[in-house]
Amino acid sequence: MSAADIKKGVDQKMQKSIEAFKTDLAKIRTGRAHTGLLDHVQVDYYGSNVPISQVANLTLIDARTIGAQPWEKKMVQAVEKAIRDSDLGLNPSTTGDLIRVPMPALTEERRKELVKVVKTEAEDAKIAVRNLRRDANEQLKKAVKDKELSEDEERRAADDVQKLTDKFVAEIDKLVQAKEGEIMTV
């Protein structure tokens, strides 16, 4: 395996880590309603857990309320229970077959907790990026040992991998700053 292949592979994997981090950030609510908040909520659908979007139509009723309308009438209680039991701290109310999910206003204390959650997610993303760097460096050392690369090529490639790592860590920091600003805005 050439140094270019290793660098290209690590670049793609680091990009996927950033995408996963962005997805995690989107799940953290900021007081405004958006249907993406409920993406990871699982509903018990005839014995198997499925995402809420596969059993109900999700809409925005207004800026602070999400509407969930199950396609089957008997799924109303299951969807409501899944939303209530999720770790989002939401309290849905049902009128007929429409489930209204109001977004409670965030307290200052809750905003600070959410910022801590964002920073924890960021640290996890950084750890993932650093682990990818470590794996790439091990691949480079193995390539030198197998005489596929010279030591100079390995050193240059390791420097490039470090630059990639620095670039992605900086991007994570930038995303954290933006999300932190969004959360702390009243």
Between CA 63 and CA 60 the distance in angstroms is 7
Q: Are strands 42-45 and 48-51 parallel, antiparallel or unpaired?
A: antiparallel
Q: Tens digits of per-residue pLDDT, 153-164?
A: 889 988 999 999
CA 3 to chain centroid: 30
At residue 69, φ and ψ (nearest 5 deg) are: -120, 100
Q: What structural domains does the chain harbor? A: 3-27+107-184 (1.10.132.20), 35-102 (3.30.1360.40)
CB atoms within 10 A of CB 131: 12
Return the pLDDT at 169: 92
How large is the average pLDDT for residues 130-159? Answer: 89
Return the pLDDT at 102: 86
Contact 97, 70 (CB under 8 A): yes
Between CA 27 and CA 123 the distance in angstroms is 16
Helix axes 108-145, 151-184, angle to 10 degrees: 170
Predicted structure pTM score: 0.68
Long-range pairs for 147-156 at CB < 8 Å and ≥24 separation? 148/1, 148/2, 149/2, 149/3, 153/3, 154/3, 156/3
